Structure 1
Amino acid sequence: MNIRKNTTWFLSLLILPLFIQCSQTKEEQKPNILFIMADDHTSQAISAYGTIFGDLFTTPNIDKLADQGMLFTNVFATNAICGPSRAAILTGKYAHVNGYCKNEKGGKFNASQWTFISEFKKQGYQTALFGKWHLGSEPEDFDYYKFHVGNGQQGNYIDPVYNDNGKHIKETGYATNLTSDFFLDWMKGLRKKDKPFAALLHFKAPHRPWIRDEKYKDLFDGVEMPYPSNFNDDYKGREKTAGDTWMTMDFLNHRDSKVTPPEGLEGKALSDWTYYGNKPNQAWMPEGCTTLEEARKWKYQQYIKDYLSCIKSVDDNVGRVLDYLEENGLAENTIVVYTGDQGFYLGEHGWFDKRFMYDTSSKMPFIVRYPKEVNKKSRNKDIITNVDFAPTLLDLANIEIPADVQGHSFAQNLKGNTPNDWKQCMYYQYYEYPKWHHVQPHYGIRNQRYKLIHFYYNIDVWEFYDLEKDPQEMNNAINMPEYQNIITEMKAEIVVQQKDLGINGSLEAMRAITDADMGEVE
């Protein structure tokens, strides 16, 4: 009897089922979800998208994600403002459906409604939230959360207070680093290793007032940063819309520009001085400046250096997180998303902030890495919106998408197989007025080449842009004869989009949303 041969045969019978079981487990393993979002981070501040700053400013870790996955160039917020964009992302539904239309007097997001997080939790995922929530309500369906409180849930950059699963805790340090610390601590400790996870890592940075980490306090010293080519936009043909906002460099206040207050100020006097610049006719003059043009350039230099310094900290921490995934064997099976909650103006049109349907503010940076399904260094220019994120993540995890979700999965687009019937335009609507920044409420549609916008609150102004000929949206072509047929077709398409989305197209109903006081986030 050949004992060695029989023993080998016997062991193989024991090992083979285990091998098959392991293979099946690996094959059927659900992907992890890591959704990283930085507040007000715009694509022109990510070097993978191309910037005007050259070697002065790069984002190597975010660029690494783009190198290892897919970079999208036509992803849009359906309402370019923080809270409503976040609500749309969570629910896969437009603001008029999920109920969160504006930040100012917009009330609180109904966190008990369906979100993609609630669905992942239902499907056996461990769920967590770190950083900025900014929706007023208490998060639901998270196994663990630690989010910013104070300043209307904006939080603070230095020594911020967090809501740690219901308990308010003041932490010591810089918010961007701390938020990453808490996520990594959870990954190493509370996370159950036998369950897939769906985690939101949401940085406060680079939101106003753009306070730097000590590490970058001297970054860009002695350097004059370049200006966007349309920094000195005169708003010709757009006087009642782009030309009537409170977000030019004139509206950066003393706090924004890091000016030291005079000695002896306290209470209301100190507060008035700190926020001086927020309102019309408060275009203060920095020391050494003699003209408004010099003042605008001085303020831009302070603003852009602070903003980009905040981004450097975000990029550093993205690197920390990616390193952890790699070192712990999680990179291959984790869908990593990087985005901002909308775009942002870095001096384009002379502005800071967002809100407009113009591309610089409505277009979001969006990068996805998922080695199992997404090719490295791939690029996508399909029109996608933030309501499409939720169904896509569910689709990638082979989870059924609820019928009432308004967004559409672009899982096939991620794999390089854009469906033939993929949408050719997107619908946008902004409601908030006059605070903040005095941007007229408007709606519109955009396709690959053209954009049509209607400003409707207390004016009746239409704007039309040929994005191929005018990518910076400087020339309102609404009255140009050669475009009239296209404009007529797009006006009809707006009606179709509003009907399909369940939007009451009457101006009275839209104005009522703007005027409604739904409460403040405290």
Structure 2
Amino acid sequence: MSRVSARRRLGRTLVCLGAFLIVCGSPMASSAEPNKQPNILFIFSDDHAYQSISAYNDPRKLIETPNIDRIAKEGMRFDRCVVPNSICGPSRATVLTGKYSHANGFYNNSGSRFDGSQTTVAKLLKGAGYQTAVVGKWHLVTEPTGFDYWHILPGQGVYYNPPMIDNGTQVKHEGYATDIITDLTIDWLKKRDKSKPFLMMSQNKAPHREWAPALRHLGHDNDRAYPEPSTLFDDYSGRGKAEHDQDMTIAKTMTARDLKLEAPPQLTPDQRKVWDAYYEPRNQAFAKADLKGDDLVRWKYNRYMHDYLACIKAVDENVGRLLKYLEEEGLADNTIVVYAADQGFYLGEHGWFDKRWIFEESLRTPLVVRWPGVTKPGSVNTDLVSNLDFAETFLEAAGQPVPAEMQGKSLVPLFKGRTPEDWRKSFYYHYYEYPGPHSVRRHYGVVTDRYKLVHFYGPDIDEWELFDLKEDPQEMRSVHGQADYAKVQEELEQELARLRKELKVTDQDPPESIIRPAAPEAAKKKAAAKKKAAFEKGVPR
């Protein structure tokens, strides 16, 4: 055989081998295919404060979350993810629709019902060939639409032995809600049609109030005395009526159930034994100590931190289980993993728990994303992003058009390390639920990288506040009306007006049937007297 013939034969062999590798995939190459629609695993928690994710480096070092941190380490951490309405149901409606509360019709947790006939990211992805599923907390009153499979908690759900609704059928599970939600998530992933990409929304109840831990995590902190936030005993001077009139303080608002001075009724006898073995000796010591004033607040804060952070431990463990499943099934390289919460949460800052405010701990939510080959490992983004952007992001990642009616922006360019020149520099916020739980006044405002202008409004309040986050990062003092801030205030007022016009926000709030009506005065006074009497005994109800 001539050398020329040998070369030709070798060339043909290499061409055939190359074609084989292209068709079948090289064993040396990543299993991710650049043109293949990615799977999307959206892990969503309820009231998970960014301060309690160790990747966010809170100076109190409250807890280690190695599995959530891993998503950030292998992907991107977002440091300025904000929400348009800091409360559970409205945030979930925003994630599904890519729209503000006034546009999707879900304003609050009290009177709103989600209109399942409207366009959602689940419906659009399903139409594009995705399998879609939601498991866990739903909290939108009406049944899910646009999902091939749904298995949800009714209402807020409970932590122990939770009833759930499996595609319309009521069922009851035994165990801890966070573990059960992950079990169901993995079970569906195993049984899905593996020829199609998937959108799985795995949504935890935890760490929502009343912060009930998995029994295996009781005593996880060895009775640690937690570092206090510097504003734990805030007296709200330098601010207005809204901050003074709220009802969400650790000092006065927490109930016996919150503080584990009463056991939840859902426990089985065996579970109750474990519960009592941990809490009863500590509750007896608390009663004997007869704490008052600041000492009582400190005790409540530490009990709150034990319970809340124990819930986080279970969430983090289950995030680890999901990541492990993706790896074992060869899905990790072509799956976008998103971990987020429906809003931020107070962990004692300003003496508060809960959320609702335009202020930082409430407004800002954690967001970490891993998309192999797209997000740079260990990268950090500081752009102003939002859960308003999630639907648009999932659609672009799947190669689908984004409907004009959606009001957010796709985060895909940011995932790739490129911030578009026209990226937002300001963000509109609007909270509606008053009267209602915690008595946080209705308010709207504009948020920038440095400033917040907020308007508290209602029949008995018409107050404006302005905060300079650079000079006052803890938002302790409004500078509204001060001469030094006159130009900034004017610019923010103009920007707020522009945003309201662009977003088509009307001056008229929705009907009182949607915004919870006020309780009768007699009932309000009776409830207040009961709470005051219980608080004075050291056992708030």
TM-score by length of 1: 0.89
Q: Distance in 1 between matches of 2:224 and 2:15?
A: 70
The residue that corresponds to 1:422 in the other structure is: 423
Query: What does 1:26-425 align with in structure 2 at a 5 Å threshold?
Result: 26-54=33-61, 57-106=63-112, 108-149=113-154, 153-188=155-190, 190-249=191-250, 250-260=252-262, 288-425=289-426
How far, CA to CA, are the matches of 1:12 and 1:224 in structure 2? 68
% same residue: 44
Q: Report the Cα distance in structure 1 between the residues aligned to 2:290 and 2:472, rounded to whole angstroms.
A: 34
Q: Deviations for 1:70-94, whole angstroms, at most 9, x for unmatched residues? A: 1001110100000001101110001
> Match of 2:40, SS?
strand
CA shift at 1:51, angstroms? 2.3
Tell me the SS of whatever aligns to 1:437.
Answer: helix
Contact persistence 2:37–2:397 (CA under 8 A):
no
In structure 2, do the counterparts of structure 1 residues 515 and 333 end up closer, same or farther at CA, with 3 Å as the change threshold?
A: closer
SS at 2:144 equivalent: coil
Deviations 1:164-188 (A, max 9, x none): 1111110000000010011111111
Letter in 1 for 2:408: G
How many residue pairs get matched?
486
SS in 2 for 1:199: strand
Q: How much has 1:9 moved relative to structure 2?
A: 9.3
Relative to structure 1, the CA distance from residue 461 to residue 517 in structure 2 (aligned partners, 3 Å threshold; closer, same or farther) is: closer
Question: Structure 2 length as normaliser, TM-score?
Answer: 0.86
1:288 shift after superposition:
2.1
Are the equivalent residues in 2 in contact too, given 1:345–1:354 (CA < 8 A)? yes
Counterparts in 2 of 1:401 and 1:286: CA distance versus 1, 3 Å: farther
How far the C-alpha of 1:20 sits from its partner, in A, is: 3.6
Aligned amino acid, residue 454 of structure 1: H
- Cα deviation per residue 1:415-437 (whole Å; 9 max; x = unaligned)? 11101111100000000012110
- Cα distance in structure 2, aligned partners of 1:309 and 1:495: 43
CA distance in 1, matches of 2:68, 2:33: 28
2:504 counterpart letter in structure 1: G
Cα distance change of structure 1 residues 514 and 169 upon mapping to structure 2, 3 Å threshold: closer
Q: Specify the code of the residue in structure 1 equivalent to 2:126.
A: K
C-alpha contact 2:436 2:516 (8 A) present in aligned 1: no
Provide the C-alpha distance between the structure 1 equivalents of 2:466 and 2:509, rounded to a whole number of angstroms. 21
Secondary structure of 2:33's aligned partner: helix
Residues 20, 511 of structure 1: alpha-carbon distance in 2 compared, 3 angstrom cutoff = closer
* Aligned partners of 2:83 and 2:386 also within 8 Å: yes
The one-letter code of the counterpart of 2:92 is R
Distance 1:438-1:329 versus aligned 2 partners, 3 A rule:
same
| Runs of at least 5 residues in structure 2 that lack an aligned partner in the other structure | 27-31, 264-285, 518-541
Contact 1:432/1:514 (<8 A) preserved = no
Q: CA deviation at 1:516?
A: 4.3
Return the alpha-carbon distance in structure 2 between the equivalents of residues 441 and 401 of structure 1: 31
Aligned residue in 1 for 2:535: none
The CA distance in 2 between the partners of 1:515 and 1:197, in whole Å, is: 34
Contact 2:95 2:388 in 1 (8 A): yes
User: Which deviations, in whole Å up to 9, do the C-alpha atoms of 1:455-476 show, x marking residues without a partner?
Assistant: 0113011110110111110111
Aligned to 1:280: none
For 1:142, the aligned partner's letter is: F
Cα distance change of structure 1 residues 515 and 8 upon mapping to structure 2, 3 Å threshold: closer
The CA distance in 2 between the partners of 1:435 and 1:359, in whole Å, is: 21
- The 10-residue stretch of structure 1 (380-389 or 197-206) with the greater mean CA deviation from structure 2: 380-389
Find the counterpart in structure 2 of residue 269 from structure 1: none
CA distance in 2: counterparts of 1:217 and 1:196, whole angstroms: 39
* Equivalent position SS for 1:223: coil
TM superposition shift of 1:8: 9.2
SS in 2 for 1:412: helix
Alignment partners' CA distance in 2, 1:386 and 1:514: 27
Which amino acid is 2:58 matched to?
A: T
Give 5+ residue unaligned stretches, structure 1.
262-284
Q: Which amino acid aligns with 1:102?
A: N
Contact 2:135 2:203 in 1 (8 A): yes
- Measured in 1, the distance between the counterparts of 2:288 and 2:500 equals 51
Q: Report if aligned partners of 1:425, 1:445 keep a CA contact under 8 Å in 2.
A: yes
Name the counterpart of 1:265: none
Contact 1:286 1:295 in 2 (8 A): no
Root-mean-square deviation (Å): 2.3
- Give the superposition deviation at 1:238: 1.8
- Match of 1:456, SS state, is strand
Q: Is the 8 A contact 2:343 2:363 kept in 1?
A: yes
Q: Is the 8 A contact 1:286 1:298 kept in 2?
A: no
Query: For 1:514 and 1:499, how far apart are their aligned partners in 2?
Result: 25
- Aligned-partner SS, 1:66: helix
**CA apart distance, 1:295:** 1.8
